[in-house]
Homo-oligomer: A and B are copies of this chain.
Amino acid sequence: MNEPVPDNAGLPEDVPLATVRRGELVESVHRGRLAVFDPRGDKIEALGDSEAYVYLRSSAKPLQALPLVLSGTADAIGLTDEELAVACASHNAEEPHLAAVRSILEKAGLSEDDLQSGAHLPMYGPAADKLVCKGEEPRPIHGNCSGKHAGMLAVCVHENYETLTYRDPAHPLQRRILGLIAETCGVPEDGVLVAGDNCGVPAFALPLRSFATGLARIATGEELPDQLAGAALRIRDAMRAHPSMVAGTERFDTELMEQTHLLVKGGAEAVLAVGNFEGWGMALKISDGSQRAVRPVALAALEHMGVRMGEGDSIVRGLHGEEVGEIEALI
């Protein structure tokens, strides 16, 4: 856990976690790594190399939102739980998401123009279609990370940090986030690797098992200093209270939080973060980055951990509605 950033880009040992069957044969296979750890950093389960690094991507958002609570910003400007949840979201850009992001910005005395989250079409198909058919270009607020960026900007205003440069890894807010991620996950600051995320803020990489440990801690508040524990639990509770703000319609994170007592946050390149308040965190990475494998593998792993949420395997249907295959978890 105290190892510094590795100086080579070796490929971590992974294992087949799901197959895509067509007819009698496996057509495609998804490998990956899975780590389930408790708040003290003790292993409960591991498949593949859990020492190797993983980019947390958007599954770091609950951690990236910690300064919003810890700095007193959330209280000072009166953020609601919905707004805290959208600050941790990879949202669909449905109306309630956009309204919550705008509200954070307004409460901070800012506007959409201050967002530097980068523009992409809404993740939710009908929301994207609506924009396209109106002939409108997507704006930064439609980006799935706009809540995170709004939350970051609000902290900057409250802390008198520069708002124009908030994306810079050397900016005091980004340094503070890195420190909190390191502290929560139990790694030294120089053990957190930083690269660029697609929305322009730092992306963080950690050993998979450190991330799982951190998830166990934010889901329980255990093994964290009191103030940090309090902020973690407030974020956990806000996300749990408003699962639809964290992702949205037809999204796995939302569905899984609605049907269980878990804290759930997915990320790009097929990362999934799960925290259970009973005392464990689960970090999953599908090696090839395919989102389609996340759901069946996660549900199988959760069932193994005693959390049952219906059928995990996914039928693959052809264009005539007929079954042509199935995505099946191997665990």
Task: Render A243-280 as a binary contact track against B, CB cut-off 8 A, 1 for contact.
Answer: 00000000000000000000000000110000000000
Question: Count of chain A residues with Cβ under 8 Å from any Cβ of B?
Answer: 52
Which of the residues B20, B25, B322 comes within 8 Å of A205, measured between beta carbons?
Answer: B25
Number of copies of this chain that the complex holds: 2
Q: Does A90 contact B (CB under 8 A)?
A: no
Q: Does A308 contact B (CB under 8 A)?
A: no
CB atoms of B318 and A20 under 8 A apart: no
CB atoms of B25 and A324 under 8 A apart: no
CB atoms of A11 and B29 under 8 A apart: yes
Interchain residue pairs A-B with the least CB separation, the first 7: A118-B319, A23-B195, A28-B289, A288-B288, A133-B133, A198-B318, A196-B324
Taking beta carbons and an 8 Å cutoff, which residues of A are in contact with B? Answer: 5-6, 9-11, 16, 19-31, 53, 55, 116-120, 129, 132-133, 143, 193-200, 203, 205, 269-270, 287-290, 318-320, 322, 324-325
- Further pairs besides A28-B289, A120-B319, A197-B324: 20, Cβ < 8 Å: A6-B25, A9-B21, A9-B26, A10-B26, A22-B196, A23-B193, A23-B205, A27-B269, A27-B289, A28-B269, A117-B319, A118-B320, A119-B319, A129-B133, A196-B322, A199-B318, A200-B318, A200-B319, A203-B324, A288-B290
